[in-house]
Structure 1
Amino acid sequence: MLGRAKDFLLMEAQALGHLAQKLNGQICVIANLILRSKGMVVVTGVGKSRLVGEKISATFTSTGTRSIALNPVDALHGDLGRLRREDILLCLSNSGETEELTRLVFAVKPLGVMVVAITGNAGSTLARMSHFVIDMGSIREACPLGLAPTTTTTAQMALGDALALVMLEQRRLTPEDFARYHPGGSLGRRLMRVREIMRSDDKLPLVLEGTPLKLALLVMYTTPGRPGAVVVVDSHDSLLGILTDRDLEPVINQDDSIFSSPIESLMHRDPPTFMPDAPVQAALELVQGTTREHLVIVDNRKRVVGLLATSDIPGYARAAADAVTSTPLPT
Structure 2
Amino acid sequence: MEMILNANKMRMLLLVVFLVLIGCKKENDKSISNKIQSTQTNENEFVSYGDLLISQSDFVSRIQRNNDVKSQRANLSQIKFDYDKFTKWDANTIEEKTIGDLTLKFEKDKKLNPDAAIYTHINLSIYKNNKNVDKLIIYKQENYAEALVAINQYFYIDTNLNIWTLGINEDEEGIKVMFWNQYKVDKEIGKINLVKSSNVFNNSQTVDIDKNNNPWIGKYFFGKTNRDDLKTSFEITINSLNDIMVVYVSDGEKPEIYKNIVGENVADDKIKIVFNKKYDDMGIVYIQNSGKEYIISGEPISTINPGSDEFPLKKMK
Report TM bin, short chain. under 0.3
Q: Of Structure 1 and Structure 2, which has the larger fraction of its residues in strand? A: 2
Relative contact order higher in (CA < 8 Å, ≥ 6 apart): 1
Q: TM-score of the superposition, structure 2-length normalised?
A: 0.20
Q: TM-score of the superposition, structure 1-length normalised?
A: 0.19
Q: Of Structure 1 and Structure 2, which has the larger fraction of its residues in helix? A: 1
